Copies of this chain bind each other. A is one copy, B any other.
């Protein structure tokens, strides 16, 4: 028994089940094997299985019901609450095109900065990028992302057009978002924002400032978002 790589059993089980749910082996609405079955299959005990299931509940992959079982849920989108839903009619998979206005480049942090930066973050400078996102051809989402330039080889030369910033961070750099905080306001669009989002100056826009914590100590991602909520709404589930 030397092959245990220090990764706890409950986490390994979590990963297995999560993978199975995402890959469709367990269908949405169906029941996971019972806790005792999972014990038998994975050669472990109920508290360990329950620990893994608890994490799945926490991350929204299942709901549990006493006497019934663990029900598979629709896997939740990206972490962090922000996806887009149409207000009037429910569009199944909104056609979302992303245009990079400013490719990732190394800059100084914007001043003044809406969040407190650590010394390490200040010293290392930041990687800056701007994106504009379209739903059905209309611009709805303008966001500025800044992250510290700490140990991210080749980052600025990667392609972002069709990939999520977060996917790239997770897959290439093992950086995962663990939580965050955000401030939301409704503002009048100024001229620049109005032009970008194709609305009139003075029209209301949703404004969000976010700080996302990651599994890397002291590595946070900062975003500023302007959202055209004329025809769409920001939708979140938690």
List residues of A whose CB falls within 8 A of some B CB.
47, 58, 60, 80-81, 85, 87, 179-188, 203-207, 209, 227, 229, 233-238
Contact B187 A204 (CB under 8 A): yes
Give the CA-CA distance A227 to B204 in the complex, in Å: 13
* Contacting residue for A186 out of B80, B186, B209, B235, CB 8 A: B186
A183 to B238, CA, bound (A): 12
- Give the CA-CA distance A168 to B80 in the complex, in Å: 28
Whether the Cβ atoms of B235 and A182 lie closer than 8 Å is yes
Interchain CA distance A227-B234 in the complex, whole Å: 15
A109 to chain B, nearest CB (A): 19
Q: Nearest-CB distance from A36 to chain B (Å)?
A: 19
Q: Are B238's CB and A179's CB within 8 A?
A: yes
Chain B residues whose C-beta falls within 8 Å of the C-beta of A234 in the assembled complex: 183-185
* 9 pairs of A and B residues whose beta carbons are closest in the complex: A204-B204, A186-B186, A186-B204, A185-B229, A181-B237, A183-B233, A186-B206, A184-B234, A185-B233
In contact, B184 and A233 (Cβ under 8 angstroms): yes
Establish whether residues B184 and A206, one from each chain, have CB atoms under 8 Å apart when the complex forms: yes
Judge whether B237 and A180 touch: CB under 8 Å. Answer: yes
User: Are A183 and B235 in contact, with the CB atoms below 8 A?
Assistant: yes
Q: List 29 A-B contacts (CB under 8 A).
A: A58-B58, A81-B81, A81-B238, A87-B183, A179-B238, A181-B235, A181-B237, A181-B238, A182-B236, A182-B237, A183-B233, A183-B234, A183-B236, A184-B184, A184-B206, A184-B236, A185-B206, A185-B229, A185-B234, A186-B186, A186-B206, A186-B207, A186-B227, A186-B229, A187-B229, A188-B203, A188-B204, A206-B206, A209-B233
Q: Compute how far the CA of A52 lies from the CA of B204 in the bound complex, rounded to whole angstroms.
A: 43
Is the beta-carbon distance between B183 and A85 smaller than 8 angstroms? yes
Q: Which of A184, A205, A207, A209 has the most CB of B within 10 A?
A: A184
The chain B residue sitting closest to A205, CB to CB, is: B186
A81 / chain B contacts, CB cutoff of 8 Å: 81, 236, 238
Given contacts A185-B87, A205-B186, contact A179 B229 (CB under 8 A): no
A183 to chain B, nearest CB (A): 4
Q: How far is the CB of A213 from chain B (nearest CB, A)?
A: 9
